[in-house]
Chains A and B, each alone.
Chain A
């Protein structure tokens, strides 16, 4: 019995490993022709021209990182704020559970629905704000262009909402894991409620909150459908929040259906680049977490 379960557990774990290696191998194999043809210049070139067979993904890399970073900042701040609100006695515990369920339900909304909501609700809502910001603060690079419809801002906002449940619920768990005696210690030292939260509770939960942010960022990097609908699919690099942009995932989603064999090879290379970015981000995140854990927690 025991041995059977152990076998199943081992097999499942091994299967995941095999699957990851297989995916990398398969995509890498398909990308190999493009890799040898375009080399590393593929990552720094800004044209994507099927006719001339010139391909480069720097704008997409930029758009992927920029939109995800914006989403991480917004979703991170709100997610952590929600976690604090739900765990630090601001709400009756029953009410907090209801709130938490609602936030977790956000994760169940299909990506395409978020995309439609973005197009029909968010963009019209954003337009007057964007126009005003561009009009009065147009000299700031972030507001350098006007919002013509899809663009970075609506995409990043929707991404932020999409990563919110991940960030919030993992942060809630890590804050809730803190033993009551730690809170007592903080109040016993004469902290106010906010001092206790900011100087004791958040640092104590820091490794869990970092994990939440890394997972949220990873999710934002790979998000496809909503972004393909909202980002505007423009091959350009701009700091402006209102300019259309593109991401790797959106490029793949929108180009694959009509791509010929030459473009498919380039798209495979782009897919490999996206995979590499997410793997690197996760690895760096894990390393940071490990460092933070070692520093603060030691053995309990």
Chain B
């Protein structure tokens, strides 16, 4: 049995906890209004690993990522069919409050989006939201250390988060996301607005962060997936129905996806034959 089908079996047969699978996305159909955006994709997310989502634009990789903490619920016409289990609990269950889901499953966005508040207040935001009563200063410092930005901002915690450079803002957003110590961190093309040096810093940071967190990362940059992802999911676009519907083509250890993929489509994509 090869790694790819093993993964599939693991995802479908489940018993997620024993295999270290924190989340399992069993997506059947995702619609925006009448438009079928993504279909039939099973994406398990393993603990303390970075799972990279790659694929051409319009393949639904961001949509899938944003389904993992119900961010897509902000879009009124969005509709999800299927299940996303988080420690065995379906987060799309009617009883589940999406607000609570997002407190466990943090998110870092494509554009750095710090709040128009001080650096300190940005990081403390989630802690205050959760009614944290302990030593706030300590947690803020810890989060800023964790996001590898402490040395740059320690003398200006009162300054606006918006006064930082783009790369610093993104690391501030990472600090904000990890301050509450979420279980899973979703990163939606976190480096696409950053220059190469800032990108490198954030990539190093991701590798440090996976010691404590489980990360799912969407990237349009295949080199980035090769550098940081342990597991890679390749999504493709199906245009056979006259529409553009994304789906999971293949998922497996990053090395395998890039060096000896099973699917012809994956091979063409990782060779850069289309994008």
| Residues 147-184 of B at the A interface (beta carbon under 8 Å) | 159-160, 162-163, 173, 176-177, 180
Tell me the count of chain B residues lying within 8 A, CB to CB, of chain A. Answer: 30
For B129, give its contact among A181, A190, A295 (CB under 8 Å). A190
| Residues 232-255 of B at the A interface (beta carbon under 8 Å) | none
Stretch among A38-46, A105-113, A141-149, A196-204 lining the B interface: A196-204
> A191 — which chain B residues lie within 8 A by C-beta?
99, 129
Say how far A179's CB is from chain B's closest CB, in angstroms: 8
Q: Are B116 and A188 in contact (CB under 8 A)?
A: no
Interface assignment of B107: CB less than 8 Å from any CB of chain A:
yes
Interface assignment of B109: CB less than 8 Å from any CB of chain A:
yes
Interface assignment of A298: CB less than 8 Å from any CB of chain B:
yes
> A199 — which chain B residues lie within 8 A by C-beta?
125, 129
Q: Are B102 and A187 in contact (CB under 8 A)?
A: yes
Interface assignment of A192: CB less than 8 Å from any CB of chain B:
yes
Q: Are A189 and B162 in contact (CB under 8 A)?
A: no
In the complex the two chains form, what is the Cα distance from A19 to B118 in whole Å?
A: 41
In the complex the two chains form, what is the Cα distance from A200 to B115 in whole Å?
A: 7
Q: Are A182 and B113 in contact (CB under 8 A)?
A: yes
Say how far A298's CB is from chain B's closest CB, in angstroms: 4
Q: Are B113 and A185 in contact (CB under 8 A)?
A: yes
In the complex the two chains form, what is the Cα distance from A179 to B111 in whole Å?
A: 11
Q: Are A181 and B99 in contact (CB under 8 A)?
A: no
Say how far A295's CB is from chain B's closest CB, in angstroms: 7
Interface assignment of B71: CB less than 8 Å from any CB of chain A:
yes
For A184, give its contact among B100, B113, B114, B117 (CB under 8 Å). B113
Q: Are B162 and A185 in contact (CB under 8 A)?
A: no
In the complex the two chains form, what is the Cα distance from A187 to B87 in whole Å?
A: 22
Interface assignment of B69: CB less than 8 Å from any CB of chain A:
yes
Interface assignment of A299: CB less than 8 Å from any CB of chain B:
yes
Query: By CB atoms of chain A within 10 A, which of B71, B74, B100 has the most?
Result: B74
Interface assignment of B103: CB less than 8 Å from any CB of chain A:
yes
> B107 — which chain A residues lie within 8 A by C-beta?
188
Q: Are A203 and B173 in contact (CB under 8 A)?
A: no
For B115, give its contact among A187, A190, A204, A299 (CB under 8 Å). A204
Give the interface of B toward A (CB within 8 A).
69, 71, 74, 99-103, 106-107, 109, 111, 113-118, 125-126, 129-130, 159-160, 162-163, 173, 176-177, 180
Please, could you name 20 A-B residue pairs with CB atoms under 8 Å apart, sorted by A? Answer: A181-B111, A185-B109, A187-B71, A188-B102, A189-B103, A189-B106, A189-B129, A190-B101, A190-B102, A190-B103, A190-B126, A190-B130, A199-B125, A199-B129, A200-B115, A204-B116, A295-B160, A296-B116, A297-B116, A299-B163
